[in-house]
Amino acid sequence: MAGMNCPICGKKMVEQFTPFCSKRCSYVDLNRWLKGEYRIPGPPLDRDEESMNNGESQLGN
């Protein structure tokens, strides 16, 4: 892994925070995942699946 750069800021990677250079950059990446900025590609969900994923009940509650 020598010579790799941090995917957030481009600085040299630090083994302790692999693949990042610092705790800050690892938190920036985590925040992006939590905010939904990163998405894993897949087929579009149909309307019923979206409702279930949003916590909405199919029973009308």
Which tens digit of pLDDT belongs to each residue from 4-39? 999 999 999 999 999 999 999 999 999 999 999 998
User: Where is pLDDT greater, at 1 or 36?
Assistant: 36
User: Where is pLDDT greater, at 40 or 29?
Assistant: 29
Domain boundaries in the chain? 1-39
* pTM to 2 decimal places: 0.61
Among candidates 33, 7, 37, which has minimal Cα distance to 21?
7
Residue 60 has pLDDT above 70, yes or no: no
| Correct CATH for 1-39 of 3.90.180.10, 3.30.50.10, 3.50.50.60, 3.30.360.10 | 3.30.50.10
Question: Residue 5 pairs with which residues in a beta bridge?
Answer: 12
